[in-house]
Amino acid sequence: MAYSTSKIEEILLESTDEELLYHFSEVRENILNWYPFDGTESFLEIGSECGALTGMLCEKVGNVVAVETDSIMNEVNKKRNENHENLEIFEKTVDELSEKTYQYISLIGTLERIEKYFGSSDVEGFLARIKSILEENGTLFIAVDNKFSMKK
């Protein structure tokens, strides 16, 4: 069953389910919607989950590649953002990505689940891999879930 945007907002307002709020609240967009993108950039979103940021990124940059290893979350993201033609969604780990480089890469809620996206807990190796696909003078956004964020 498809829900209208107003129905989703109504459900979120009445909900106390932290996971539901984490994955579907538009408030999460605040983490990057302030950034002055020029609309032509390439953006790699590692750990896109259910697409809480993906749609907003598609509206602000030229091309978004969303990477998530969870097939159910990828399906939610695809359905949620099916109207964006500048979006590619992959069910891959970071090592399975091509050697293409990106102007922007986000690791939002990713470092604390590094094994899911890298297959190893080697933070230095993971960051070296990220650096290898970040354009020279590119920007890396990192945010870590903590006790003050929406997610426990």
Q: Is 81 left (phi over 0), alpha (psi -120 to 50) or beta?
A: alpha
pLDDT for the residue numbered 19 = 64
Q: Note whether 141 and 105 are within 8 A (CB).
A: yes
pLDDT for the residue numbered 152 = 45
Q: How far apart are CA 90 and CA 117, in angstroms?
A: 12
- 57: Cβ contacts below 8 Å, ≥ 6 apart: 32, 43, 45, 64
pLDDT for the residue numbered 61 = 98
Does pLDDT of 150 surpass 80? no
| Single pTM value for the model | 0.83
State the number of CA atoms in the 13 A half-sphere of 68 facing the CB. Answer: 23
pLDDT for the residue numbered 15 = 58
| pLDDT one-digit tens code per residue, 12-61 | 556 566 665 666 667 788 889 999 999 999 999 999 998 999 999 999 99
pLDDT for the residue numbered 113 = 87
Query: How high is the mean pLDDT of the chain?
Result: 85
- 75: Cβ contacts below 8 Å, ≥ 6 apart: none
Does pLDDT of 112 surpass 90? no
Does pLDDT of 11 surpass 80? no
Does pLDDT of 8 surpass 90? no
Kindly state the percentage of the chain with pLDDT values over 90: 59
